[in-house]
Structure 1
């Protein structure tokens, strides 16, 4: 009697972005960059930006309020100016922050035959070029709503990829490919307790450059801890 064939699960490498693959918060740094361009009042913008960042760190952020704030400059400047400025941002800030060890980690999953997906709570405008710089085409980010003329409204489209929303968005991504959680072997890298729901869903959770709370929880649960930077 022959043994039943083992089903080989598709490998998926899921990566948070900020403080996980890059050693800074891309949204925060983009906002700071726009101050340097003179797009925002430096004192007031820095104050509000710092408050939102602290709320994110503590897990109390209202993401919809933050996205309205964070997209004010690009909505006022329009697509042409904003895209050109982001190109300069990539050269001045992001490229310098992409470390060899982070690139090698992503590439190791790709060499192993895994599909790599960046799953971030930062919006798609800021993060799409960063994902491409890592050689990653699959990006799950906060999607921005547009009006009938294609202009950003400041609102979020669909479910934001934030906290429990990351699980929903990954499930949607899988379903679009005819897959469910039982069909895949997932490894998820993140630095933040905000991503606890997806860590608990992943086959292999990896606390990466973890904050204090996540480091303690990972040690308690026996999850792998990776200090990439």
Structure 2
């Protein structure tokens, strides 16, 4: 059994679930539209440019979770899945996951996007486990703050190493599929790094290293 690791946003789905969730909150009038939409867009640009302050961003995007009850958030997220995420699903991504599952691999998503947004998506995709940026919960309610090491850039390695200590797996024969140059630290660690519909920086690096380059679109 090999470990098959996947980034989520713009890799297994056609879009960024974190950015889309922010836009969804604006559309649902759950946040101050003018202020939130502008900040959400700027954070996304920072991410693409490799200069995102992940802790600042997590405090920003998790803050609205503290406003609502778990039941309200569950209902809101289901609407998000039905109206936004369903349109981002990729048949070729599902086929790739099935291919790895059929050959006996363990399917793991590692994403910088928080676990509230990504948990239901990972469940629909049918992967074995998910590593995502963590949300603080006290007395069954989101505080609006992050906790632990964000699974972003080098943080993906930190979180993966923590995960490996609790799971009988290693990186021998491992795969990692990603679209983003932010994931280069982990891509360099696995046996089979694969660039998926990659940004220009990752595409050029992958070509220089003779890594496999694919599209799921």
Instruction: Tell me the TM-score normalised to structure 1 length.
Output: 0.91
- Quick one: distance in 2 between partners of 1:131 and 1:98? 11
- Larger displacement relative to structure 2 (171-180 or 21-30): 171-180
User: Are the equivalent residues in 1 in contact too, given 2:135–2:142 (CA < 8 A)?
Assistant: yes
2:31 counterpart SS class: coil
TM superposition shift of 1:204: 0.2
- Larger displacement relative to structure 2 (20-29 or 170-179): 170-179
Match of 2:120 in 1: 129
Structure 2 residue 209 is the aligned partner of structure 1 residue 221: yes
**Partner residue of 2:3 out of 7, 12, 37:** 12
Match of 2:153 in 1: 163
Match of 1:173 in 2: 163
Structure 2 residue 195 is the aligned partner of structure 1 residue 204: no
Structure 2: segments with no counterpart, 5+ residues: none
TM superposition shift of 1:169: 1.2
Match of 1:7 in 2: none
- Quick one: distance in 2 between partners of 1:31 and 1:166? 23
- Quick one: distance in 2 between partners of 1:152 and 1:206? 35
2:174 counterpart SS class: strand
- Larger displacement relative to structure 2 (207-216 or 71-80): 71-80
TM superposition shift of 1:150: 2.9
User: Are the equivalent residues in 2 in contact too, given 1:123–1:144 (CA < 8 A)?
Assistant: yes
- Quick one: distance in 2 between partners of 1:111 and 1:180? 19
Give CA-to-partner distance per residue, 1:97-131, whole Å, 9 cap, x none: 11111100011000010000000000000000000
- Larger displacement relative to structure 2 (69-78 or 186-195): 69-78
- Quick one: distance in 2 between partners of 1:11 and 1:204? 11
Match of 1:76 in 2: 67
Instruction: Tell me the TM-score normalised to structure 2 length.
Output: 0.96
**Partner residue of 1:188 out of 176, 187, 199:** 176
**Partner residue of 2:55 out of 64, 68, 73:** 64
- Quick one: distance in 1 between partners of 2:37 and 2:104? 43
TM superposition shift of 1:60: 0.9
2:173 counterpart SS class: strand
TM superposition shift of 1:156: 2.1
Structure 1: segments with no counterpart, 5+ residues: 1-9
- Quick one: distance in 2 between partners of 1:137 and 1:88? 24
Matched positions, count: 217
Structure 2 residue 108 is the aligned partner of structure 1 residue 117: yes
